[in-house]
Amino acid sequence: MNTKVAESNQDEKRAQFQARIERGEKIEADDWMPDDYRNQLIKLIAMHAVSEIMGALPEKEWVPKAPTLRRKLAIMAKVQDEVGHGQLLLRVVEDLLAPLGKTREDLFEDLFTGRLKFHNVFHMKAPTWADAGVIGWLVDGAAIITQTMSLDSSYAPYARALYRICAEEKFHAQHGESIVLELAEGTPAQRQLLQDAVNRWWPALLMFFGPPDDGTISSNQQLNMQYKIRTQTNEELRQAFFDKYVPRIFHLGLTLPDKTIRYDEAEGKWHYQQPDWEEFKQIVRGNGPRSAQRLQLRKVSYEEAKWVRDALLAKQCVAG
Amino acid sequence: MIDYSRVQSAQLAMQNAAYLLALKELLFQLADDDFILAYRGSEWLGLAPHIEEDVAFSSIAQDTMGHAVILYEMLEELGAGKADDLAQLRNPEDFRNAILVERRNGAGEYLENPHYDWAYAIARNYSYGLFKQIRLESLHNSSYLPLAQVSRKMLTELNYHLFHWQVWIRHLAESTEEARRRLEAALEKVWDDIGDLFSLGPLAAHMVNFGLIAGEELLLQRWKEKGKEVFHSIGLEWPGDPRVPQQNGRAGEHTDDLVQALATLSEVYRLDPTAKW
Amino acid sequence: MSNQEQAQQTFSVFEVFSQKHPISGFVHQFSLLAPNHEVALSLARENFLRREPCNNIWVVKREDIHAIPPEERRYLERMDNKSYRETKGYGDLQARWRYHKEQYEKNTASK
């Protein structure tokens, strides 16, 4: 076969694939897919997966310290779910990586070397119990908004994982709300803990959705839309977050560190103060306040357990 | 006249001071064992050697803490104080857990450089699980009927935990040389502490006379029989008779590891124990 | 590296199925990585069924599952002409029974 024929075959396959996407069909792991579709999915889902794994760590700091027996159990279950979400997403991305000869081990290597990034929020400090509440309420709230949007993803294995995840995220948000309400209804000292935590997390929450698009759409975003992997813009998601949470924050008698935030009825959108996007870049590059320490936790435990994985590999299917 | 071979409720138990004292002492042993081991389990969360195992291990820690909660609530019913206070406000010398469950998971802290020892986690959880199985079976015949009843439900969950740890211990024993060496070292370490697991503490005679639980010797004997059988089946050498640690946890003697554990787990609650959390 | 050596480098994928009640069928849940069936079974429930009742679990090594290849899956589509197999193809029965009942009642009444 000469190269011209091969190329035109390739073009035809791509066109057929795009037609499937446009018909609203779902793609499975064993379907033919263009390389850029696969790469785009890998980039998105790998980041999502390690964000769940790394996202367990800030709240985990409060797992042994949770203030009552019930809260100890609830936060353990919640953080366990986060690790479980990491597991689901890792499996999805591992299946995408398999044809490229890559495995879970490679993903962890990429995480440790900084090639694979995780969400900005999980680089931040969580110095008080109220932070655990705010993470459950607002960080999980933000996550529900982005994940719900992706339920319609053209890649069926990702959508299936997200259905499981979203069902559990509802419990997470309630878990967070319950902690937050207890503090809000509590002593002045408890309310102060909560207010401080909201102030601390606000810029990170704005950053969570990514920079606004300035009217131009990045090639990344364009590809996601073309392939129906992700269909809403960062700003649309951030606005949806404001719609849901800003009123509730005010209902609790809390304030926001942004005095300018207001809803414009005529425009139907929120005006707010932009966070420092330069700082955002620094954080996701691994220069956040807790980036190094949390990566170190993951790395130490990973290295400490190498002998365990080797031992299990030696038992590969012996008992099978 | 109350029949002390079948005590149906907390109200009845509270009518006999000697019975009540022995019962509360036993419940503290049971609750504190589960609570502290579950705490050690919760420190492992996010750090286990395999993601899928991390999730499974956390369920076991949750179940175990769930058992502790039921037991603290029983104590609350018996007038010992609020369950949350019992778990978080008592002094270390008031804790009745065995030394084995309070030991650190390894060098380092869960927040910083956790050089945790998975072989120790397996050896400890398995040995304790086997003990707990025997203790729960004995409690099926306890004269305190609410405890007898709940021991049956707990056993169902515990058997699942034991199945899990047994898979692990066998896999480590039968895999690489390094794994086996680490497992054997961990078992040695566990064996140093096993002794006071079987101790019923200063009120042992009362507990047995009141028919609350079987005697120490009987529990130990059953544990050895079962343990030897399992070790033999997976080709592990039986590490000999369990040794008794310096401190007796059942008498309120503890290591600094417990002091650290209690400080951590009550840190937030102690900010204001009268507040709602 | 030979295939066998490669197999030693990474865990196998196991598909997990569960049965809710004794009379329900097995439903696919998700997949996990494990070295063998026994470990897979010891991990399955807590990974995928933390909140649901569960009566039994199967784990199946993915390479033992044979699926219809992507390009042949569209042959699974059917024409929409098989009402004779379904209850909706027999929607007239009730009216006809009613008719016969009414006829009968009319006849008996007139006797």
pLDDT digits (tens, 9 = 90+) for A231-280: 888 999 999 999 999 999 999 999 999 999 999 999 999 999 999 999 99
State the smallest CA–CA distance between residue B3 and chain A in angstroms. Answer: 34
Query: Could you tell me the CA-to-CA distances from B18 to A241, B24, C18 in Å, in that order?
Result: 60, 10, 50
In this prediction, residue A46 carries a pLDDT of: 98
Could you list the residue range(s) of the whole structural domain that residue B185 is in? 11-271
CA distance A318 to B176: 13
What is the pLDDT, as a whole number, of residue A246? 98
pLDDT confidence band for A108 (50 / 70 / 90): very high
Binding-site residues on chain A for chain C (CB distance < 8 A): 28, 30-32, 77, 80-81, 84, 87-88, 91, 94-95, 103-105, 160-161, 164, 312-320
Q: Output the pLDDT for position C6.
A: 45
Domains held by chain B: number: 1
Cα of C39 to nearest chain B Cα, Å: 7
Q: Is B62 on the interface with C (CB under 8 A)?
A: no
Write down the pLDDT at residue A188: 98
Helix (H) or strand (E) holding A19, with range, is helix A3-22
Question: For residue B4, is it within any domain?
Answer: no
User: Mean pLDDT for chain A?
Assistant: 93
What pLDDT sits at residue A215? 64
Q: Which residue of B has its CA nearest to C40?
A: B52
The residue of C10, C42, C60, C76 whose CB has the most chain A CBs within 10 angstroms, and thus the best one to mutate to test that interface, is C10
Please tell me the distance from the alpha carbon of residue A71 to that of residue B37, in angstroms, as a whole number.
17
- Which chain B residue is nearest to residue A61, measuring alpha carbons? B111
Q: Which of B176, B182, B258, B260 to mutate to test the interface with A (most CBs of A within 10 A)?
A: B176
Tell me what pLDDT residue A1 has: 53
pLDDT (tens digit, 9 = 90+) per residue, B28-49? 999 999 999 999 999 999 999 9
A-chain CB neighbours of B107 within 8 Å are none
DSSP per-residue codes, B22-85: HHHHHHHHHHHHHHHHHHHHHHHTT-SSSHHHHHHHHHHHHHHHHHHHHHHHHHHHTTS--HHH
Q: Does C70 contact A28 at a Cβ distance shorter than 8 Å?
A: yes
Tell me A197's DSSP state: H
| pLDDT band at C3; cut points 50, 70, 90 | very low
pLDDT of residue A318: 47
Q: Which of C13, C36, C47 minimises the CB distance to A316?
A: C36
Any B CB within 8 A of A190 CB: yes
Rounded Cα gap, residues C80 and A50, in angstroms: 46
Do the Cβ atoms of A312 and B59 come within 8 Å? no
Q: Tell me the one-letter amino acid at C19.
A: Q
- C55 CB neighbours in chain B (<8 A) are none
C16 inside 8 A of chain B by CB = no
Chain centroid to Cα B264, Å, comes to 19
Whether residue B116 is predicted with pLDDT greater than 90 in this model: the reply is yes
**Pairwise CB contact (< 8 Å): B50 & A305:** yes
Cβ within 8 Å, pair C36-A84:
no
Confidence of residue B128 (pLDDT cuts 50, 70, 90): very high
Tokens 């379904």 correspond to what residue? C86
CB atoms within 10 A of CB C85: 7
Chain C residue at shortest CA distance from A106: C10
The verdict on a CB contact (< 8 Å) between B275 and A187 is: yes
DSSP label at A137?
A: I
C31 touching chain A per CB within 8 A: yes
> Given this model, what pLDDT does residue A2 score?
67
Name the token pair of B272. Answer: 């204001």
Look at B52 and C50 and tell me if their CB atoms are within 8 Å. no
**What one-character DSSP code corresponds to residue B249?**
G
pLDDT on residue A149: 87
Please answer yes or no on whether A87 and B51 come within 8 Å at the CB atom.
yes
CB of A184 closer than 8 Å to CB of A249 = no
Domain ranges of chain A: 30-314
Instruction: For an interface test with A, give the residue of B36, B53, B54, B262 to mutate (most A CBs within 10 A).
Output: B54
Q: What is the pLDDT of residue B171?
A: 95
Share of chain A above pLDDT 70, in %: 97
Amino acid C74: pLDDT: 87
Query: For residue B59, is it within any domain?
Result: yes
Kindly state the average pLDDT of the residues B68-83. 98
Kindly state the average pLDDT of the residues A13-30.
96
CA atoms of A203 and C93, how far apart (whole Å): 67
CATH number at residue B173: 1.20.1260.10
pLDDT surpasses 50 at A203: yes
Distances (CA, A) of C24 to A160, C54, C57, C60: 22, 10, 12, 19
Q: Are C47 and A84 in contact (CB under 8 A)?
A: yes
What is the H or E stretch that residue A263 is in?
strand A262-264
Q: Can you state the angle between helices B145-173 and B177-194, rounded to 10 degrees?
A: 150
Q: How many residues does chain C have?
A: 111
Q: Residue A231 has what pLDDT?
A: 80
Chains touching chain B, criterion 3+ CB pairs below 8 Å = A, C
Does residue B266 lie in a domain region?
A: yes
pLDDT > 80? residue C45:
yes
pLDDT at A216: 67
User: Cα distance from A94 to chain B (closest Cα, Å)?
Assistant: 13
Subunit contact A304:B118, Cβ cutoff 8 A: yes
User: Does residue C84 carry a pLDDT above 70?
Assistant: yes
Q: Is the predicted pLDDT of residue C46 greater than 80, yes or no?
A: yes
State the residue for tokens 């996990």.
Answer: C32
Using the Cβ of B49 and the Cβ atoms of chain C, whether some distance falls under 8 Å is answered with no
Contacts of B21 (CB under 8 A, 6+ apart): B203, B206
* Mean of pLDDT values over A220-226: 86
- The CATH class given to the C9-65+83-110 domain equals alpha beta
Name the residue of chain C whose CA is nearest to A26's CA: C70
Amino acid at A78: K
- How far is residue B249's CA from residue B214's CA, in Å, rounded to a whole number? 19
B191, B242 in Cβ contact below 8 A? Answer: yes
For B215-248, write each residue's pLDDT tens digit: 999 999 999 999 999 999 999 999 999 999 999 9
Asked whether the beta carbons of residue B164 and residue C50 sit closer than 8 angstroms, the reply is no
A-B contacts at Cβ under 8 angstroms: 153
Tell whether the model's pLDDT for residue A84 goes beyond 60: yes
Give the residue with greater pLDDT, C84 vs A220.
C84
pLDDT of A82? 96
Report the percentage of chain B scoring pLDDT > 70. Answer: 100
Residue C1 has pLDDT above 50, yes or no: no
Q: How much is the pLDDT for A58?
A: 94
Report CB contact under 8 Å: C34, B52: yes
Q: How confident is the model at residue C7 (pLDDT cuts 50, 70, 90)?
A: very low
Q: Across the interface, do A91 and C33 touch by the CB < 8 Å criterion?
A: yes
Fold assignment, A30-314: Ferritin (1.20.1260)
* pLDDT more than 90, % of chain A: 86
Indicate whether B113 pLDDT > 50: yes
